[in-house]
């Protein structure tokens, strides 16, 4: 499977500031990356699908102006949480898919980023 990294692994910020999270596909070129959010003791909720070179597709209820996604290369997608508030505190996880290895429906996940907004 694909090897995915995220940076940072955790971040603490003040309310009103912006935070950028990076997701990297280390061993293959990912045309599609996904961003999920996971609150404590809950399941993963898809926020958006990120396609290289085009605009991200956001799920219903996810504010695209608040959660900015950039997928400028085949190995890097970034999620920027703008004007973060305490309710944005969560575990953010990216995954890579798109089947560069011949199985388009498989997804491999990064280690996640713990965001805490004070």
Residues of this chain that interact with other proteins (CB under 8 A) are: 1, 4, 6, 32, 34, 42-46, 49, 57, 93, 95, 97-99, 104-112, 114
Give the Å distances, CA to CA, from 96 to 12, 40, 115. 25, 23, 20
Instruction: Find the shortest distance in angstroms from Cβ 44 to other proteins.
Output: 5
Q: Least Å distance between CB 50 and other proteins?
A: 12
> What is d(CA 63, CA 43) in angstroms, rounded to the nearest whole number?
20
Q: How far is the CB of 10 from other proteins (least distance, A)?
A: 9
- On whether the CB atoms of residues 46 and 58 are closer than 8 A, the answer is no
Nearer to other proteins, 88 or 112 (CB): 112
Select 78 or 95, whichever has its Cβ closest to other proteins. 95
Is the torsion defined by CA of 9, 93, 60, 74 positive or negative? positive
């Amino acid at each position: 499977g694909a090897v995915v990294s995220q940076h940072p692994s955790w971040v603490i910020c003040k309310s009103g500031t912006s935070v950028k999270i990076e997701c990297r596909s280390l061993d293959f070129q990912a045309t599609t990356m996904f961003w999920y959010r996971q609150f404590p003791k809950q399941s993963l909720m898809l926020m958006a699908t990120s396609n290289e070179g085009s605009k991200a597709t956001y799920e219903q209820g996810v504010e695209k102006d608040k959660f900015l996604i950039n997928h400028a290369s085949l190995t890097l997608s970034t999620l920027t949480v703008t004007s973060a508030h305490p309710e944005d505190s969560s575990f953010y996880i990216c995954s890579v898919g798109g089947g560069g290895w011949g199985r388009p429906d498989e997804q491999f996940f990064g280690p996640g980023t713990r965001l805490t907004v004070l």
